[in-house]
Amino acid sequence: MNEQDTEDSRFEFLKGDKVLWMVILVISIFSIFPVYSASSNLEYIVNNGTTTGHVMKHMFFVLLGLAIMRVVGTIKYEYIGKLSSILLGLMIILLVVTMFTGQTIDGASASRWLKIPGTPISFQPSSFAFLMLIIYLCRYLTKKITRERLPIENIMYIFGPILLVFVLVAKDNGSTALMILMVSVVVLVIGQLHWKYIAGFISSSFVAIVFFLLIALNTNMIGGNRVHTWMSRIETFTSSKAKSADVDDESLKAKNYQVMQAKAAIVHGGITGMGPGKSALKQMLPQSASDFIFAVIVEEYGVIGAAFLICLYLIMMIRIVMIASKMPAFFGSLLVLSLGVMIFIQLSVNIAVAINLIPVTGQPLPLISYGGTSMLVTYLQLGIILNISSRIQIYDEEGMGKKQSIAEINDIA
């Protein structure tokens, strides 16, 4: 066995792009520290479990996510594409069930979670439905790329599934529903759908959303919706931007409490931070272990630590783009870019909320925020990307997988 074979066997477990693997592992290990620190809020303020219990649960999901990532790497990604329509149908059924039997957890005001019968396990079907929808769109666009699709085909097989998932998710999770529309439009653009269909879809969606908001705000026809909550968040955000910091508006301060505490934590951290576990504001910051964990990271690790974390995410995005650009099969390339867009938008939204660039949305920080469903979906996304990276034909570049012929990696979607 020569030196190259020894090197290959050493990294056999890390199948796929080795740089991406390393970035994922570093972020995953790092996530344990801010979650351990921030979850003390759940124990002492919310009276929910213990700090040790929460960090052990988080570590379990990290290990489970890494295992899922590795298992996904053993399955041909083309088969995942073939199953996407069936899995999307199943997720739509679960979304309908969630509308009627969904539960709230950890004080959330929306019934987004579905409990598995006979177990204490709950999950959010919307996250899995989002993923299956994107995979389905990538496969459908690939199958039909060689010919012009009829308008009725686009309506039934592209726009229909997007709008159906959007409607089922929007009632209880407006931010995720909007992300579904945004990412879907990006996938349609990258997937080379004719611009006239995309423009028509965007226009129709805009009209439908405005119509929905008008009905929800002025009538009782759509029961149990959270439109008033969304509008309140937007109003609070715009009001906080318009008013100066010294205006004494107790009502506005109460509504803007989460963002004010997050901004205070970021300012308190300074350049070098207070040190691991030494956040002073985590006990006053709602959702400190999930939605606002970036603020805790800045407070404890400073601008330097936050910049390092953002650099890791940036490397992740660069590697994803590199993988997509080197993948000969259109389905593989489109799928990698689409999953990368999903991760990037979620990452951007979480950070933007923490630094008060956009209204509060409740999106977690990928691979770091405390919570099982979103974390496992992110690992599943990255597992598919790593799977595709291992199928790239490479001659001289290290770390991208074994050589394969074009026939072996040809798209069979």
pLDDT in tens, 76-95: 888 888 899 999 999 999 99
Q: Quote the mean pLDDT of the chain.
A: 80
Q: Which of 1, 89, 27 is nearest to 308 (CA)?
A: 27
Alpha-carbon Rg for the chain in angstroms: 22
Q: What is residue 347's predicted lDDT score, i.e. its pLDDT?
A: 94
Rounded Cα–Cα distance for residues 236 and 256 (Å): 6
Token output for 359: 């209204």
Is residue 307 predicted with pLDDT exceeding 80?
A: yes
Is residue 178 predicted with pLDDT exceeding 60?
A: yes
Token output for 6: 């020894």
Residues with Cβ within 8 Å of residue 117, at least 6 apart in sequence: none
Token output for 306: 């936050």
Show me where the domains of the chain are located.
16-74+253-399+406-412, 109-223
Q: For 196-239, how does the pLDDT look when each residue is reduced to its tens digit (9 = 90+)?
A: 889 988 998 888 888 877 777 777 666 556 666 667 677 766 76
Q: Please give the model's pTM, rounded to 2 decimal places.
A: 0.86
- Please indicate whether residue 372 or residue 69 has the higher confidence score (pLDDT): 69
pLDDT confidence bin for 240, thresholds 50/70/90:
low
Is residue 122 predicted with pLDDT exceeding 50?
A: yes
Is residue 270 predicted with pLDDT exceeding 90?
A: no
Q: What is residue 106's predicted lDDT score, i.e. its pLDDT?
A: 53
Rounded Cα–Cα distance for residues 92 and 95 (Å): 5
Q: What percent of the chain has pLDDT over 70?
A: 76
pLDDT confidence bin for 244, thresholds 50/70/90:
very low
The answer to which of 39-48, 151-160, 309-318 has the lowest mean pLDDT is 39-48
The answer to which of 124-138, 176-190, 208-222 has the lowest mean pLDDT is 208-222
Report the Cα 276 to chain-centroid distance in Å.
26
- Quick one: average pLDDT of 192-199? 88
Q: What is residue 107's predicted lDDT score, i.e. its pLDDT?
A: 46
Q: What is residue 124's predicted lDDT score, i.e. its pLDDT?
A: 86
Contact between 372 and 123 under an 8 Å Cβ cutoff? The reply is yes
Is residue 110 predicted with pLDDT exceeding 60?
A: no
Q: What is residue 363's predicted lDDT score, i.e. its pLDDT?
A: 85
Contact between 69 and 381 under an 8 Å Cβ cutoff? The reply is no
User: What is the per-residue burial (b if ≥16 Cβ within 10 Å, else e) of 39-60?
Assistant: bbbbeeeeeeeebeebbebbbe
Q: What is residue 395's predicted lDDT score, i.e. its pLDDT?
A: 34
Q: For 326-379, how does the pLDDT look when each residue is reduced to its tens digit (9 = 90+)?
A: 888 888 999 999 999 999 999 999 999 888 888 877 788 999 988 778 899 999
- Quick one: average pLDDT of 35-62? 81
